[in-house]
Amino acid sequence: MKNPQSILRDTFGFDDFRVGQHEIVDAVIAGKNTLAIMPTGGGKSLCFQLPALVRDGLTVVISPLIALMRDQVRALQEAGVAAGALTSGNTEEETQAVFDALSEGRLKLLYMAPERLSGTATFNMLQRSNVSFIAVDEAHCVSQWGHDFRPDYLRIGELRQGLNVPLAAFTATADQETREEIVEKLFAQEAPETFLHGFDRPNIALAFDVKNSPRQQILNFVAARKGLSGIVYTGTRAKTETLANALRDAGHSACNYHGGMEPEARREVERRFQQEDGLIVCATVAFGMGIDKPDIRWVAHADLPKSIEGYYQEIGRAGRDGAPADTLTLFGPDDVRFRRTQIDEGLAPAERRIADHGRLNALMGLAEALGCRRVQLLAYFGETSEPCGNCDLCDTPADTFDATTPVRMALSAILRTGEWFGAGHLIDILRGDKTEKVLARSHDTLPTFGVGTEWSKREWQAIFRQMMGHDLVRPNPERHGALTMTDRARPILRDEEGITLRRDTIQATRMGPAVRTLVGEEDAPLLSALKAKRRGLAERANAPAYVIFNDKTLIEMAQTRPQTLDDMARIGGVGAKKLERYGAEFLQVIAGEVAAMHPQRRKMAGKSEGSTYDRLLEVQSDLMRGEDGTAKPLSCSASLLARLVKQRPRDLSGVERVLGDKRADRFGDAFLEVLREA
């Protein structure tokens, strides 16, 4: 067997392994199924490239990004390694060269995207190619509910079993739940040898700031690092363009990148970023996975990321060379609302959406941290550390206060309203605002009504936001964003524990203009749930979402909250056909289980005839066994009652023509009275 140490030196040019690499390399060389979680920049690729040169046969590398595969293949070829890639970016000559090397048994590493696994031709080719090992880069992409999910990663486990070879999976981002999912999907519960080599990147400085003129905040941050390569992550495609323009206007070399751009334009940005010094890329998260540029000196988030996993992976693109790098993450209440809406409008099951709200809570907790951010970040991944001295809160401690009293007030309001309401309504109760909703539910009689008048509405919103950051409360998707308490909240509610919050971020929420929204804060979660239902129906019908119902109709549903199909029929944009087709499904989102309605009655929904039909049913029920309750049961079919409502006879003979003698004799007089009243 070839000597790994000599290959490390002669082929890769390193005298020693980095911390954690050696034992992973040994496990892979020994043919063990392996799961390695290593920090970005920790040298993951060497852990499968070096063993590929030691072992006999071909190592197949599954990787999610064409640019990354091409870069690694180019670097390996320049080092004298027989490596190739099969990607959609290949020329015909490149692809033919790879097939020739495979057929001649010369290739040691073959890179391919997971999408290539969808056909049997690839499997047959690999069966003939003496594959001895599979390496999976960015293995967290197998997590079906993760931020980088790639459906074709689910085929890798079948490939491993079909080829009957060991597999090594690598990622820099995986909490306990994601690690369990990787083991389930890639290793079929056959426990791999697992290496968890720390998440700390001590060279990266961590900083968060509350949004206050966010574009200027980004410009100021970048101006202090002029001439250094960096990435600005944004929450929307449009913002990548506006920020890139602003940076260029300020004299920086900047471009934008997002998933909606043409492939050639994206490749040009990737090429420039690799080759140009000092280039800034304003991008969505579509940019970055697998970036192999070691000298990115800073990463800024113009908007709050989706989760701590996403945040950690994105800032990890800075300082891969081990030299100092800076980060800045801006956040505000609108970011939180945007991310909550993304979760609520998703099609994941309720339990997954609750977990995603918990992940967002964890990120908010990092943003609103009271002490060293690195301590809190590493604790999320199960590691302990001392204060780092390389974050904004180590430099300038947070301004904090004892918030036990207002938090207990808020928790009491949540408990006394049955955990059925969101922050907006709870704040109205705490501040003593006699809104229509408060009065309609008699919540002005609660002991907590008006106990929190010393706090403004914006301050209460910040308190609730920090309560979520401490994971005391979570929105419940099944109750359209109503806040429910976690076990962490109960000792505070029972006066067994206290809690400290940040004063500075509460005060900072007063800054900046109010953002216009489609509906009020209380109705936003329900609107998200209605949009999710619409999206699911649209995908099922392969039709645009507005064909089901337009936004205006959903907004009216969220604001008026119809409880019956009659109520639903009165919503603008809900015609008879759409009520018949979709009414019950949307009503179930709003009101829960919906009583079945006969088709004849459903045609009258929202019309005066509907109430007349219902009254006839009541009268019929009273007289079904006659006036004295002893007669043989008798009733009218739904179609007979519907005909009676439509024809509205004025006398008993008219009722007889519709119902017949026997039924007219039992119900005629009473039915006529109902029809006359109508």
607/622 Cα distance (integer angstroms):
24
CA distances from 441 to 280, 410, 420, 481 (A): 54, 18, 12, 18
The band of 433, judged by pLDDT with boundaries at 50, 70 and 90, is very high
- The residue length of the chain stands at 678
pLDDT value of position 510:
42
What is the average per-residue pLDDT within 241-248?
96
pLDDT value of position 515:
42
Q: Is the pLDDT of residue 286 over 70?
A: yes
What is the average per-residue pLDDT within 265-269?
87
Which residues neighbour 330 within 8 Å (Cβ) at sequence distance 6 or greater? 208, 209, 210, 211, 214, 217, 218, 300, 301, 302, 303, 304
Torsion of Cα atoms, 19 then 25 then 30 then 35, to 10°: 80
pLDDT exceeding 70 applies to what percent of the chain? 94
To the question of pTM greater than 0.75 for the whole model, the response is no
Q: Is the pLDDT of residue 24 over 50?
A: yes
Which residues neighbour 435 within 8 Å (Cβ) at sequence distance 6 or greater? 425, 428
The band of 78, judged by pLDDT with boundaries at 50, 70 and 90, is confident
Write the pLDDT tens digit of every residue in 121-165: 888 889 889 999 999 998 888 876 655 677 888 889 888 988 999
Write the pLDDT tens digit of every residue in 497-553: 999 999 887 765 444 444 445 677 778 888 888 888 888 888 888 877 778 888 888
The band of 395, judged by pLDDT with boundaries at 50, 70 and 90, is very high
How many C-alpha atoms does 557 have within 13 Å on its Cβ side? 33
Give me 392's structure tokens: 């904004």
pLDDT value of position 145:
62
Out of 299-303, 340-344, 548-552, 619-623, the most confident range is 299-303
Encode 452-472: b = buried (16+ Cβ within 10 Å), e = exposed. beebeebbbbbbbbbbbbbbb
Q: Is the pLDDT of residue 53 over 80?
A: yes
Q: What integer best gives the mean pLDDT of the chain?
A: 86
pLDDT value of position 70:
83
What are the structural domains of the chain?
4-196 (3.40.50.300), 204-331 (3.40.50.300), 400-508 (1.10.10.10), 524-596 (1.10.150.80), 608-677 (1.10.150)
pLDDT value of position 290:
53
The band of 354, judged by pLDDT with boundaries at 50, 70 and 90, is confident
pLDDT exceeding 90 applies to what percent of the chain? 36
pLDDT value of position 1:
62
Write the pLDDT tens digit of every residue in 555-609: 889 888 888 888 888 888 887 788 888 888 898 888 776 556 667 776 777 677 7
What is the average per-residue pLDDT within 54-67?
89
Residues forming beta bridges with residue 256, ordered by sequence position: 282
pLDDT value of position 196:
83
Please answer whether residues 247 and 222 qualify as being in contact, where contact means their C-beta atoms are separated by less than 8 angstroms. Answer: yes
410/423 Cα distance (integer angstroms):
9
Longest CA–CA span in the chain (Å) reads 107
Cβ-in-10-Å burial (0-12, 13-18, 19+) of 38 comes to buried
Write the pLDDT tens digit of every residue in 552-569: 889 889 888 888 888 888
151/388 Cα distance (integer angstroms):
38
pLDDT value of position 113:
86
Q: Is the pLDDT of residue 215 over 90?
A: yes
Axis crossing angle, helix 156-163 with helix 120-127, rounded to the nearest 10: 30
Higher pLDDT, 253 or 271: 253
pLDDT value of position 18:
82
The band of 344, judged by pLDDT with boundaries at 50, 70 and 90, is confident
Higher pLDDT, 339 or 545: 339
Higher pLDDT, 293 or 106: 106
